Structure 1
Amino acid sequence: MTAKFTVLREGAPTVVVVGEVDFANATELGAALAEVGDRVVVELSQTSYLDSAGLRVLFAHARRSALELVLRRGGPVEQVVELSGLTELAAVRYS
């Protein structure tokens, strides 16, 4: 299953990611993040897979902008995000 990226503009700008983020669609994630600007919440609690290409996009955005990640505790993406060190650059909360 590929990912679906939905941009929500009510309240804090949010990119909701559902499905798998990999090399094939990481540029779509980057485009969604660029669309909302410098402060963004990325809802990853419904993300079932995140590879290095997706991480690279998130790292790049976190280095230049305020980034908050929403993870599902015990979900498949939580450990990847924590082990990558992304939690040092982005705020994290759990759904």
Structure 2
Amino acid sequence: MTTPLTLTRTTDQRGRSVLKAAGEIDLSNTAAFAAALSDAEGSLVVDLTEVHYIDSAGMSVLFAHAERLELIATPLLAPILTMSGLTSMAKVHGITK
């Protein structure tokens, strides 16, 4: 069974491509998450403010694209983003390092 994940692509006020994720990112839906990241050309803002859980499979997708990502997260995700080292590879807003 696939865990519910909604992915919405928009453009922010600065004209940047934004991928908003809502729900949980885990092994059951990382293919869709990876495809959404791969479909975007150039840099990409990934809004994780409505993500309540991300497992190692989801983190591996973020790591694969880290050099071109700017993440917006909440303190809920801060421990995994920080301990994994992702905060040193990608710009991350919304958490305290």
Partner of 1:46: 50
Whichever residue aligns with residue 72 of structure 2, its letter is: V
Partner of 2:80: 80
Alignment of 1:3-82 (within 5 A): 3-10=5-12, 11-62=15-66, 65-72=67-74, 74-75=75-76, 77-82=77-82
Query: Deviation digits for residues 28-47 of structure 1, max 9, x if unmatched?
Result: 11111111122001100110
TM-score (structure 1 length as normaliser): 0.87
Number of aligned residues? 91
Take 1:22 and 1:47, find their aligned partners in 2: how far apart are those partners? 11
Partner of 1:89: 89
Structure 1 residue 94, shift from structure 2 partner: 1.2
What value does the CA root-mean-square deviation take over the aligned residues?
Answer: 1.5
Gaps of 5+ in 2: none
Gaps of 5+ in 1: none
Identity rate, percent:
35
Query: Deviation digits for residues 19-70 of structure 1, max 9, x if unmatched?
Result: 00000001111111111122001100110000000000000011xx421000
Take 2:42 and 2:26, find their aligned partners in 1: how far apart are those partners? 23
Give the number of the structure whose alpha-carbon radius of gyration is greater: 2
